[in-house]
Structures are given as structure tokens and as C-alpha cells.
Structure 1
Amino acid sequence: MAALLLRHVGCHYLRAHFGPQLCIRNAVPLGATCRGLFGMSALLLPGNSESYVELVKSLCLGPALIHTAKFALVFPLTYHTWNGIRHLMWDLGKGLKIPHVHQSGAVVLVLTVMSSMGLAAM
């Protein structure tokens, strides 16, 4: 509903003041769709999470493959967490100069990799 309102009303406002590249065109609620699919699969698929953990354990996958898969799952979470903290600092007016922006970007990447490795090792 809100997306439709933004598309029909907000788009004209954005075009008039900011240009057409900022307008939402054919917005697809991908995040909501993925969350809905995972939620429905949790309700409809037989068994519970423990049975699926046992299924993965029964595949006898190597620890390197499991660690890599856990790293791939946790990397987006940690990246968005650290980058969100970075944006909160910008909202406070700190680190807005270009050298600080580049430096904080490198810090976010290093912290992301380190925290992802730590979480994947658990």
C-alpha cells in the first residue's frame, strides 16, 4: 500500500525536485518476499530446525565447507551492522570529511571480515 502511494504520489514530487533517477520505478518488495517465503517454509515444511541440522550433519561435509557456508551467511549481517553504526556516526556529524569516509569504509570492511570469521567459528 505504501509502495503504491509512493509510486503514484511521491514519484511526481521526486521528479520535480531531485530528478527522475531517485524515483522508485516498478518497486519489487524483494526483502519482504524472501522473509515471507522463509516464514511460510518454516510453517509448511515437515519437522523442525533440529531435524534440518541433523540432516546437514548426516551429509558428512568437511569443516572447511561448513565454516565457509556459515561465513557466507553471517557476512551480510555483520556488514550491515557495522555500516549502520558508521551511518549513525555520520548522523551525529562525525567523520564526514572525505578522508574519514574512506578510512571508516576500510575499518568497516576489516571489522566485518573479523566479526564474520568469529561468528562463523562458533
Structure 2
Amino acid sequence: MGTSAQEEMNKFWAKNTRLNRPMSPHISIYRWSVPMAMSITHRGTGVALSGGISVFAVAALVLPGSFPHYLDLIHSLSFGPALITLSKFALSFPVAYHTFNGIRHLVWDAGKGLKIPEVYGSGYTVIALTLLTSLALTAL
């Protein structure tokens, strides 16, 4: 007669405890790499962009007044040039990064650039293009 799922699970945890293994691979055991950081950043920028667009869309639907009214309200707050520049960079960076890294993923989906040196090279290219594009958009 076979063992139950509960007995198998108990054997599994007893063995892992006896061997002093962690419960699961934890982020502290991994060595950070460019592809890993870029993957996390790609997901984060995707969530931020979709969340930002959703908030903007809901606000446009439910708030009274028109867009020019709220634009004038923001202009009347008289933010300093440093805050405006920082805001422009904060808006342009996720858009540029997610766009360039998305193109990189499309190239991977075509089966190209999957060797480790190519992955790192395309990663550094995405970072450079993102910074240049973000700075150019910020300067507008």
C-alpha cells in the first residue's frame, strides 16, 4: 500500500530539516546579474505604467472639469524647475525602458540573441538607450 500525501510531505520536510536546507530558494542565495535586475525592472515598469494609465483614465472619467482646467491648476502650483525636471524624467524613464526592453523581448521571441554574451550586450544597450532617451525627453 502506498503512502499518503501527508506522509510524503512530512518525509520531505523532515529530510530538508535534517539537511538544514532553506524552505525554498531565497533571493539572498542568488548572485544579482544584469538580466535578473532587468527582468524585475521590466515587470515593475509594466505594473507602474498600467497602473498610471488606469488611474489617469479613471480620473478623467470621474473628476469634474476638463483636462485644461487641471493643467492650469498644476501650472498655478509653481513647482520649481528641479521638481519639474525630476518629474519629467520619472515619467519618461519607465516608458523608454519598458519600450526598449519590450523590443528586446520580441527579438528573443524570434529566437535571436539568446546566448549569454548577447543577453548581456542587449541589456547594456537597453540601459544606454533608455538613459539617452529619458534625458532627451526630459530636456524637451
TM superposition shift of 1:90: 1.3
Q: TM-score normalized by structure 1?
A: 0.65
Task: In structure 2, give the amino acid aligned to 1:38.
Answer: F
CA RMSD of aligned residues (A): 2.4
Question: Structure 2: how far apart are the matches of 1:76 and 1:65?
Answer: 17
Q: Aligned residue for 2:103? A: 85
TM superposition shift of 1:36: 4.5
Task: In structure 2, give the amino acid aligned to 1:60.
Answer: S
Cα–Cα, structure 1 residues 70 and 32, in superposed 2: closer, same or farther, change >3 Å? closer
Q: TM-score normalized by structure 2?
A: 0.58
Aligned residues: percent identity? 51
Kept in 1, the 8 Å contact 2:49–2:94? The answer is no
Question: Structure 2: how far apart are the matches of 1:39 and 1:69?
Answer: 19
User: Which structure ranks higher in relative contact order (CA pairs < 8 Å, sequence separation ≥ 6)?
Assistant: 2
Unmatched segments (≥5 aa) in structure 2: 1-46
- Paired residue total: 94
TM superposition shift of 1:120: 2.2
Question: Aligned runs of 1:1-122 on 2, under 5 Å?
Answer: 35-122=53-140
